[in-house]
Chain A
Amino acid sequence: MSAIVLYVTFILLLTIGIIALLFKRNLIKIVLAFNILDSGINLFFIALGYRENAMAPIFTPAPLDSVITMVLPTPQALILTNIVIGFATTALMLGVSVLTYRNNNTLDTRKLRGVEEYD
């Protein structure tokens, strides 16, 4: 069970993010849902490339052994990209949220759409 606990955590984070995206009305909470989705995907990629008792793929602090075990470098490079992209999109979404609130005095997506009465 411990072998897949990180994968299960990824699925939980993904599900929480999607539920929040579908059911939350506040724009700020939708931005937070995007962040939770991002974290889940980052965790999934790093868990895919992890090796037991291995070190980071950097040769400078490596021990002088004949056999060195290293984790996979490509998922780490991809997640490095994804973190910056996630930060940038979060900043843009928050900026749009600020403008939306200044113009409409609300962050409720149903009110922004013009629906007065909903279930």
Chain B
Amino acid sequence: MRLLSVVAIVILFGFLFVGILHLHPVGEALGNSEVLQGRPELGIDINGVSTMDDYFLRNGQIETKSNNIVASVVFDYRGFDTLGEATVLFIVVSSISMLFFTFLKSKSIVSAGVPPAGQFPKIESRVITFGSFIMYIMILSFGVYLVVHGHISPGGGFQGGSVMASATALLLISFLITRHMQRTRKIFSFFESLGLTIFIGLGFAGITISFLYNFLAHTSTGFGRIIAFGPNQGYLISAGILPLLSLAVGIEVFFGLSLIVVTLFHVSGVKDTNSLR
């Protein structure tokens, strides 16, 4: 049996190695590499564009009013795919909450190192508690910056939400929110559902054309502000519904990942193992 597995792995390795010899070399991706070459001033022109990616690079800025082409692919051209991804994250958080349902409902939780209510935690010094509170504010600000500027600079809802969720882990190791576990879970699950609801609601707002249609990008004022093609400084109020979708995804990812972290932290600290069965 073991010999058969080894043979199968060797065959797989050989097939993959033969396969990569027929790919293009690294660094020479297909299509026309020059984005702005031979391009008229404005207007949609797909002449000479041979691949999907070159179409996105040449027309993404005009069609979605977004400087960040990756964001326009994630939230506009493939917006339905992103909805599926946000749903997968929601389902995973729901599954983890469901797995530890009996544990989280029990009132007599003795987490390791957590003092009773009203007492200051003795296991950590005030330096750690106060320092992590300051770092919490700074990390949260950076995450909000990443979410809000997702359409004009590197970042977006998923990255910013993950950064903010790491701040929650910092609060957990300094025992700042461990005493209010039930309340924390309720608040986090409410806001996580709110993020996904905002995303779906924005998708239904443009339902007269199609689901997740970027209706704000065609108004030429406000969020649909016309930006110059090519390099420009970028505007915070632009790109249609992209910043709003990014904000919704940021809320959902932040509170979802925080809920996972809080749940697993409390499960790892429990002393009474019978309540888990």
Contacts and interface: CB of A to CB of B under 8 A. Distances in A.
B232 interface: yes
Nearest to A79: B70
B230 to A, nearest CB: 7
A71 B27 CA distance: 9
Given A3-B26, A74-B56, A91-B92, A59 B277 contact: no
Given A73-B73, A74-B52, A81-B81, A8 B20 contact: yes
B242 interface: no
A95 B57 contact: no
B82 A70 contact: no
A87 B153 CA distance: 24
Name which of B21, B34, B53, B152 has the most chain A CB atoms within 10 A of its CB: B53
Chain A interface SS verdict (over half): helix
Interface in B216-257: 230-234, 253, 257
Chain B interface SS verdict (over half): helix
B140 interface: no
Nearest to B37: A67
Contacts, number: 176
B22 to A, nearest CB: 11
Interface residues of A, number: 60
Given A51-B33, A69-B34, A92-B92, A59 B12 contact: no
A112 interface: no
Contacts of B26: 3-7, 47, 50
Contact of B78 (A77, A85, A92): A77
B31 interface: yes
A84 B158 contact: yes
B264 A102 contact: no
Given A4-B20, A60-B232, A80-B70, A68 B35 contact: yes
B168 interface: no
B96 interface: yes
A96 interface: yes
B153 A96 contact: no
Interface string B21-44: 101011111010111110000000
Given A48-B29, A70-B35, A99 B82 contact: no
A76 B57 CA distance: 13
Contacts of B56: 57, 73-74
Interface in A52-101: 52, 54, 56-74, 76-77, 80-81, 83-85, 87-89, 91-92, 94-96, 98-99
B196 to A, nearest CB: 14
A92 B96 contact: yes
